[in-house]
Structure 1
């Protein structure tokens, strides 16, 4: 009877399946890239591709935005790769990617500017100029400004400075001529 029982067990195992250790299944399927990988996966199809560093080679140097505003303390935005700056107003203007430390003297100031300002220097005619100076220079006039004489130094209709540094204009009338003569007494 014992043999019959073994035979029945053997037949039932063959018919119903054997719980013998099975070899591992062959994995022919490819792993799927997780849906949380926004930029896709590496070749292993499991590891997500990292976010690129858009600021890797970006330098946010100070720069002049316009003639009076300096963009400074730049920080790169990792999402855009664009520099974000603080704005600074330059008192004396912006040049060469920095604020000027002193005012810029305008080019139309023939005698320069007052120190530390952008105010043109008013020329003072030398004391030995009896008839003032030729306009825009410190060169002496050789004839009175209202004489009407055209001598290359001064001509009717021009303006200039007298020897004390006061501005004068030429005098087209006799009364103005008399008044202008008072400048030199």
Structure 2
């Protein structure tokens, strides 16, 4: 009788153990499938630029095979949007445009910088890239102005912050 109970317990244990492994495997599969269904991965970063006494917010959305990069501050709203698309014909060719400007007919003062930045990011990741630099207009004059202490511009500092944070992104 004890052998019979022992063998039943062993079979029961093996059955439970196998069921647990199957459940664990099924759960892992469901989590993987769920993660694949997520629309995007997002990151919010604060770029502290002490030499300019400003704090900028950086939002990076990793969408399906493309990136969206937004740069602004506390008061910022979307004020412009530029895009760069890699060419399907030649890997070195790109097509870029400003597709939205809050000012309507006139260009946002950052439109040129948005377009250039979207092309640099697109070239690195070989994917479509949308960039919005939604900063107050007074920042436009600082964008290319060389800081005497750091010997760099606000634009260079911002670009460094963006690329430093993009370096951890892997597109699927």
The structure in which a higher percent of residues are strand is 2
**TM-score normalized by the length of structure 2:** 0.24
Q: Which has the higher contact order (CA 8 A, sep 6+)?
A: 2
TM-score by length of 1: 0.23
The structure where helix makes up a greater share of residues is 2
Which structure would you say has the larger Rg?
A: 1
